[in-house]
Amino acid sequence: MQSSTTPTAYKILVVDDDPDIVELLEYNLRREGYTVSSAPNGRRALEMAAEVKPDIILLDVMMPQLDGIATCRLLREQPQFRDTYIIFLTARAEEFSEVAAFDAGADDFIAKPIKPRALLSRLTAYARRDRDPQPQSETIKINGLTIDRTGYAVYQGGQKIMLPKKEFELLSFLAASPHKVFGRDELLQNIWGNDVFVLARTVDVHVRKVREKVGDHHIQTIKGVGYKFNKE
C-alpha cells in the first residue's frame, strides 16, 4: 500500500462482469477521492493490475474467461501484488466460497448486494491500519526459522520462503509469543482487525497454508482453544 493514507493515495481496480455494479462502485469510490480502474473479467484484470499497480483490488468470484479465485491465486504468485489488498465481492455467500477466497489469498470477503457505505468503511479501516502499524521487532529467530518482519520473508535451512501477507502476519504474530495459546477470535482481531468481518474458519485455512510451507511442527493446534507456536 501507499505510505500516505489520504484517499487520493489509493488506486483501486474493480473487477466485475456486471457493468451496473462497476458503474456503482466507480461512482462512489471516485466521489471519495480514489483513483479507479476497472476490468470485466479475470484475464483483463491481470493485464490491468500489471499496468496500474493498484493498492486495492475489488474482485468478483463468478466471471467469464477466468474466475476470481483463479485470478487471486495468479496475482498472489507475483511479488508486486503480495501486499495488495484483495477484497472479494460476490453473490455467492456460502461458507465454501468464503473459505476458497481466503485460501486463494484474499484479505476480505463482501457479499452482494453491495452497500457502498459499508464498503467505504472497510477501505477506511485498511487505510487506518496502514497509518498506525503495530510496533514490532524486526527479526525473530526461533525453532530453525528466521522471520524478517520488515522484509516479509521467512528463512529456513538457508532457504527463503515467501508467504502471502496474511499468512506471514499470522506466523510472525504466533512466533512473537511462543507457547502462548491464542483463540481464533483473538487471532482474527489481531491479524484481520475489528473492522473486517470474516469467519473463524479463516484462521484454520491460513494455519493450514502456513504449515504446508514451513512445516507442520511449528504451529500446534490446542483442541477446543486455538493455536500456539512451538518454541522447540
pLDDT tens for 112-157 read 888 888 888 888 877 666 655 554 557 888 888 999 887 778 999 8
Predicted local confidence at residue 149, as pLDDT: 82
Say whether pLDDT at 88 is over 60: yes
Q: Are 16 and 24 in contact (CB under 8 A)?
A: no
Ranking 3-17, 48-62, 105-119 by mean pLDDT, the lowest is 3-17
Say whether pLDDT at 227 is over 50: yes
Determine the average pLDDT of the residues in 27-38: 92
Q: Give the long-range contacts of residues 157-166, CB within 8 A, separation 24 or more.
A: 161/213, 161/214, 162/79, 162/82, 163/210, 163/213, 164/76, 164/82, 164/105, 164/209, 165/82, 165/83, 165/107, 166/102, 166/105, 166/107, 166/191, 166/192, 166/206
- Which of 8-12, 55-59, 129-133, 175-179 has the highest average model confidence (pLDDT)? 55-59
| CATH number for the domain running over 7-131 | 3.40.50.2300
% of residues, the chain, pLDDT over 90: 37
Predicted local confidence at residue 4, as pLDDT: 43
Task: Look up residue 52 and give its three cell numbers.
Answer: 496500474
Say whether pLDDT at 45 is over 90: yes
Say whether pLDDT at 104 is over 50: yes
Q: Are 188 and 200 in contact (CB under 8 A)?
A: yes
How would DSSP label each residue in 43-111?
Answer: HHHHHHHHHH--SEEEEESS-SSS-HHHHHHHHHTSGGGSS-EEEEEES--SHHHHHHHHHHT-SEEEE
Determine the average pLDDT of the residues in 79-93: 82
Identical fold for domains 7-131 and 139-229, yes or no, is no
Predicted local confidence at residue 93, as pLDDT: 58
Predicted local confidence at residue 3, as pLDDT: 40
Q: What is the dihedral of CA 180, 185, 191, 192, to 10 degrees?
A: 180
> Domain spans of the chain?
7-131, 139-229
Predicted local confidence at residue 130, as pLDDT: 62
Residue 5: pLDDT band (50, 70, 90) is very low
Residue with cell 490491468: 48
DSSP state of 144: T
Predicted local confidence at residue 129, as pLDDT: 62
Predicted local confidence at residue 193, as pLDDT: 74
Say whether pLDDT at 62 is over 60: yes
Q: Which CATH class is domain 139-229?
A: mainly alpha
Predicted local confidence at residue 192, as pLDDT: 79
User: What are the b/e assignments for 80-90, b being 16+ CB within 10 Å?
Assistant: ebbebbbbbbb
% of residues, the chain, pLDDT over 70: 85
Angle at 71 between CA 215 and CA 36, to 5 degrees: 125
Task: Look up residue 183 and give its three cell numbers.
Answer: 483463540
Cα separation, 222 vs 63, whole angstroms: 39
Q: Can you say whether residue 229 is alpha, beta or left, with left for phi > 0 and alpha for psi between -120 and 50 degrees?
A: beta
- Can you say how many angstroms the Cα of residue 217 is from the centroid of all Cα atoms in its chain? 24
Higher pLDDT, 224 or 103: 224
